[in-house]
Amino acid sequence: MNYQETTATICFSARIAIVGPPNVGKSTLLNQILGEKVSIVSKKAQTTRDRILGILHQQEYEFVFMDTPGLHVSQKKLNQIMNHVATQTIDGADLILYVIEANPQHVDQVSKHFVSTIQKHLAHVRVPVILVLNKIDTVRKSRLLPYIQTLMAAYPFKEIIPLSAKNNDGIQVLLDACKPYMPKSQAVYAPDDFTDQSERKLVSELIREQVFQQLHAEVPYACAVMIDGWKTHQEEASTTTEIFATILVERDSQKSIIIGKGGSRLKEIGTLARREIERLLNHHVYLHLHIKCVSLWSQNQAILNELGYSKLKE
């Protein structure tokens, strides 16, 4: 039984999709809005692979945000699934936040390709769209006005909200801009809910985040994380959890890179991931990492199913 079936609380609630090109700060935006880390981040594009749901309760408003993989072109099965996730999320949303960055190059000269990409992504949208112009801390404000005017001509956005997710600048302005487009309904989630992600899913993502943070080139994109075992030990004064996880790679050379000289890189990944996991679980964690080479796992539907992508097949 869900929260909606057990309460008659009336509020303004909306499913709000956070979409846009890769690496524009969508996950950072969601984490900043929630004040909780539910979506992993890195400087590399296409870090997010799945729809990440985050819930914010603010007075009589229930914001149900859905972070999505960056919209991009690829022939790889995993990447096609990622695009499918984003388009499915758009189709199920009441409101869309289309996020781009205030890239100095874009500000100086908005290309036809850039405008056409926005129009292509939103071609079949039938719900209100708010344009979020992120990373405004990287551009002088005096240069933003003509840029915003060009973007207003590209698509009938309901609002254009400049902000810096990293610096928590403009977040409340964005929330206030969403409110007129949120219908009145029963609350769907309990007041203390902030995500629908299980602890195991969050932990696997925190491990994968460190793979992205610590490695370069193509290696992070060839990795996935599976939780193999989870044991919680409760004593009188403390709780500890022992977690066993496998990092999947596609080639033996990638396995060697992740392990590093004398196991140093794998140890660093494990140490940093464990710290984040302990913050999440709020108690001590023993993390055991294992690496397994599975050739072309990202093209193998059976493995993608095991990783939780089966529901995303077309």
Q: Which amino acid belongs to residue 44?
A: K
Please give the C-alpha separations between residue 183 and each of 13, 140, 260, in angstroms, as whole numbers. 6, 36, 53
> Taking 70 as the threshold, does the pLDDT of residue 6 lie above it?
no
Q: 225-272: per-residue pLDDT in tens?
A: 999 999 999 987 899 999 999 999 999 999 999 999 999 999 999 999
Q: Give the structural domain span for 23.
A: 3-186
Highest mean pLDDT among 6-20, 112-126, 171-185: 171-185
Answer yes or no: do 252 and 299 share one domain.
yes
114 with 138, same domain: the answer is yes
Half-sphere exposure of 168 (CA within 13 A, CB side): 5
State the amino acid at position 243 in one-letter form.
Answer: I
User: Hey, which residues does 99 pair with through a beta bridge?
Assistant: 132
Q: What is the mean pLDDT of residues 165-183?
A: 96
| Same domain (yes/no): 131, 101 | yes
Task: Residue 168: give its domain's CATH number.
Answer: 3.40.50.300
Query: 158, 186, 214: which is the final residue of a domain?
Result: 186
Give the number of domains in the chain. 2
In-domain check, residue 256: yes
State how far the Cα of 188 lies from the Cα of 13, in Å rounded to an integer: 8
pLDDT value at residue 313: 41
How far is Cα 196 from Cα 202, in angstroms, rounded to an integer? 10
Within-domain flag for 279: yes
Domain endpoint, select from 153, 186, 219: 186
Residues 59 and 167 in one domain: yes
CATH of residue 274: 3.30.300.20
Distance of CA 128 to the CA centre of its chain: 21
**206 and 252 share a domain?**
yes
pLDDT over threshold 50, residue 20: yes
Same domain for 214 and 137, yes or no, is no
160-198 burial, b at 16+ Cβ within 10 Å, e below that, comes to: bbbbbbeeeebbeebbebbeebbeeeebbbeeebbbebe
Cβ proximity of 27 and 40 under 8 Å: yes
- Alpha-carbon span 248 to 226, nearest angstrom: 8
Give the pLDDT confidence score for residue 151 in this predicted structure: 86
What phi and psi values does residue 175 have, to the nearest 5 degrees?
A: -60, -45
* Inside any domain, residue 238: yes
How do beta strands 239-249 and 284-293 pair? parallel
In a domain, 213, yes or no: yes
Answer yes or no: do 63 and 117 share one domain: yes
Average pLDDT, the chain: 87
Q: For residue 82, what pLDDT is reported? A: 75
Rounded to an integer, what is the distance from CA 259 to the centroid of its chain? 26
Contacts of 173 (CB under 8 A, 6+ apart): 161, 163
What's the rounded mean pLDDT across residues 15-37? Answer: 93
pTM across the whole model = 0.87
Let me know whether 51 and 165 are in one domain. yes
Tens of pLDDT, residues 63-118 = 999 998 877 666 677 777 777 777 888 888 999 999 998 876 666 566 777 788 88
Does residue 173 form part of some domain? yes
Determine, yes or no, domain membership for 192.
no
Q: Pull the structure tokens for residue 105.
A: 């190059």
Please indicate, yes or no, whether residues 175 and 118 belong to a single structural domain of this protein: yes
Q: Which of 142-156, 159-173, 203-217, 249-263 has the lowest mean pLDDT?
A: 142-156
CA distance 54 to 38: 7
Q: How many CA atoms lie within 13 A of 244 on its CB side?
A: 5
pLDDT at 2 over 80: no
Average pLDDT of the residues in 286-290: 97
Residue 194, domain member (yes or no): no
Residues 245 and 179 in one domain: no
Q: Which residue has the higher pLDDT, 185 or 78?
A: 185
pLDDT value, residue 72: 65
Same domain for 15 and 132: yes
Q: Is residue 287 part of a domain?
A: yes
> Can you give the pLDDT at residue 73?
62
User: Which of 157, 186, 215 is the last residue before a domain boundary?
Assistant: 186
**Do 85 and 132 have their domain in common?**
yes
